[in-house]
Structure 1
Amino acid sequence: MSRRAAAQAAVAELEASDQPTPPRPWPEKALRAVIALSMVSMMVVTTADVALRYLFSAPLTGSYELVQVLLGLAVFSALPLAARYDAHVNISLLDGLFKGLADKLRRIAVMLASAVVVGFISRRLWLLGERLMDNNRTIGALELPIGPFALLFSVFAAITVLVHLYMVWLLLRAPRADAGGEA
């Protein structure tokens, strides 16, 4: 059974049971709130911009820049949750070749590689944010300082690295698969 099928089966089992789902930890709730607020804000800004543009021929000043920043916020704040729930885009070309311990080792290698790549992105974003702040760089008609956003995106990427490492730790602690089963 593939991971996706197993996850769908687990969700179906939870939905069928009478037991309430366990509460989500506060960091996850906070991330979900940031994602939701940024998405709703993008919708409000875009709707207001379109309405003002077509009704009064006066677009909302700075709407393009606001949507850019809000989109970055939505993407980078969603990365830790995508890492936690293994909700990234997965290509299953080699999944069938690995079973048991080999599959566990493959998953650990992928998570470690992901942590390294996201860590690199986090570091580059931090350096960019510092440079943007040193130069007082702003974007658009609102002259919105962009450096703090780059630093915030870097922090979300760093949190994602920690989540990847936590997932590796969970995999290492998981009981070893028997000869024919899965971990």
Structure 2
Amino acid sequence: MTTDRSVQPAVRPAAKIWLNRILGGLAAVILFAMMVLTFVDVIGRYFFNTPVEGGFEITELMLATLIFAGLPLVSATDGHIAVDIFEILIPNAVSRIKEALINLACAAMTGVLAWQLAIKTGETVGYGDVTAILHIPIWPVVAFMTATLVATALILVIRAGVVLFPRNR
């Protein structure tokens, strides 16, 4: 948003540092690993006619982990894409209420997704779901996705409270 509401951050600075270190570091490592895997796969495929076995499966699992690792980070820093064409026309109090309602709606939707993924985690553990080629268990990735969605929902609820009840700096 382009308007400054002087709102306290939803996540305390120390917690934000740990979020950035853990999830941001994980995302960076995964992105680098995906790059190396793709490079090795392409070189092996085109020059030696030997692709990385299961490279596609590994990339799929890493991509899911990468995407869900970023959700709490983006929510904690309010880094979601926002179109604020009419924001200047809305009074500050109304804008804060609107922003809080949006955060709460997003938290509710994220909570529903987390609930459904928690069910899916139980199913993948129960069925022993694995990838087709390398037989990598899927449940750890689904459990990680669930945990990051829960964290994201909590962050969004906190953001709504911070927007509605700002503390003076």
TM-score interval (norm. to shorter): 0.7 to 0.9
Tell whether 2:55 aligns with 1:53.
no
User: Is the contact between residue 34 and residue 62 of structure 2 (CA under 8 Å) also seen in structure 1?
Assistant: yes
Structure 1 SS opposite 2:128: coil
Shift of 1:42: 0.8
Q: How does 1:158-177 map to 2 (within 5 A)?
A: 158-174=150-166
In structure 2, the residue matched to 1:135 is 127
Tell whether 2:95 aligns with 1:103.
yes
Larger radius of gyration: 1
Give ranges in structure 2 of 5+ residues lacking alignment.
5-12
Give ranges in structure 1 of 5+ residues lacking alignment.
7-21, 177-183
User: Is the contact between residue 104 and residue 156 of structure 2 (CA under 8 Å) also seen in structure 1?
Assistant: yes
RMSD: 1.9
Could you list the per-position Cα deviations for residues 42-72 of structure 1 after superposition, in whole angstroms to 9, with x for gaps in the alignment? 1111111111101110100111011111111
Tell whether 2:33 aligns with 1:41.
yes
Identity of aligned residues (%): 23
Q: Report which structure shows greater RCO (CA 8 Å, sep ≥6).
A: 2
TM-score when normalising by structure 1: 0.80
Could you list the per-position Cα deviations for residues 9-30 of structure 1 after superposition, in whole angstroms to 9, with x for gaps in the alignment? xxxxxxxxxxxxx875223211
Structure 2 SS opposite 1:48: helix
CA distance in 2, matches of 1:94, 1:53: 51
Structure 1 SS opposite 2:133: coil
AA matched with 1:112: L
User: Is the contact between residue 97 and residue 164 of structure 2 (CA under 8 Å) also seen in structure 1?
Assistant: no
TM-score when normalising by structure 2: 0.86
Matched pairs, number: 159
1:121 to 113, 129, 132: 113
CA distance in 1, matches of 2:85, 2:109: 21
